[in-house]
Amino acid sequence: MKKIVSLTALLLVIALLFAGCKETFDTTKSVNKLLNKGLVISQEYSTTYQLKEASAMFNAEIRFYGGNFTVEVKRGVALEDPKEPGSNCQFIELATEDQAIKYAEHYIKVRKNDNEYKVAQSGTVVVITNLEIAAEVIPLEFK
């Protein structure tokens, strides 16, 4: 009987450990899937200078629309469909998850009457797109 209780307790602990594991969003994997679907990279922020400029641009936009927080861009990639100008998907990796949550909520709030773009957030990454294929390929819930 003691062995059964010990085994049950061990299985419960293992189950709780796996339940606590959260799969992290893989930006590179999603970008590669979209590249394989025919999209092309139209813009990328990766150098220190580009990231500083992107952060300044995002923070100016946030202030312009009445936001009271700042973000720090750690990486940015924008893809577009060469067959449909203006159709794009942006991946914005911010410094913290809190920044990503605030930015995604702010974006949705200020563009509530603009149904063209959909937004998803996972961890430190915010994804903004007006491409149906992106919403289908990217394993996130878009709002």
What average pLDDT is seen over the chain? 86
Kindly list the strands in the beta sheet with 118-122, ordered across the sheet, starting from the edge strand earlier in the chain: 40-45, 73-80, 88-94, 125-129, 118-122
pLDDT digit string, tens, across residues 16-47: 334 344 458 899 999 999 999 999 999 999 99
pLDDT digit string, tens, across residues 86-107: 899 999 999 999 999 999 999 9
What DSSP character marks residue 80? E
Largest CA distance in the chain: 69
Helix, coil or strand: residue 23: coil
Query: What mean pLDDT is predicted for residues 112-129?
Result: 91
